Amino acid sequence: MSIDKRTEMILKKESLTIFNQFCSKLPSESLGLLMMYLQKFNDDNPDNGTIVFTKKEYEKKLGNEEISIDEIQDGIPDLLGPVRFKGDIQIMFSMFISINIRKISNEYSIFMTCSDIAKDYIFTDPNVAKYNFIDEIKRRIDELTSIM
């Protein structure tokens, strides 16, 4: 995707704000997937933006005994939805372009691919590092699940 220099500058400047806006509307199921993605993205730094993790890795990260595939699937639609930013510019894009679950050798794997904009301007911003957000995402998941 080609972005003009002004939009690129604003995306770099506003990446933290855009990320916070995106997270503020996500349900707990989506936050958990995003948390896992961010950790793996920062650890693996993929060129193509695709991260793969198993259902067991995800369950371990969330500290749950077992999470159903339905619960994981419930978190996918909100991550694929549009991100709208209104500031010095108005822009709409998706953080993720593809999220799917595959069963490989009796183990479920989750494949998540972010958009080029998210990869180049949001997730690579040092202010959007896992150390700044993983604890916040966990806290919000705990808050949301304690309400339920």
pLDDT tens, residue by residue, 34-91: 988 988 887 777 788 899 999 999 999 888 778 899 999 999 999 999 998 887 778 8
- Looking at the DSSP bridge assignments, the partners of residue 86 are 90
Q: Domain residues for 68?
A: 5-147
Asked whether the predicted pLDDT for residue 105 surpasses 80, the reply is yes
- Looking at the DSSP bridge assignments, the partners of residue 64 are none
The total number of structural domains that make up the chain: 1
pLDDT tens per residue, range 129-138: 554 456 666 6
Give residue for tokens 């700044």: 132
| CA atoms within 13 Å, Cβ hemisphere of 99 | 20
pLDDT tens per residue, range 13-27: 888 888 888 888 888
Residue 118: CATH number of its domain: 1.10.10.10
Q: Where are the beta strands (DSSP E) in 5-138?
A: 50-54, 82-86, 90-94, 96-104, 107-114
pTM of the model: 0.85
- Looking at the DSSP bridge assignments, the partners of residue 37 are none
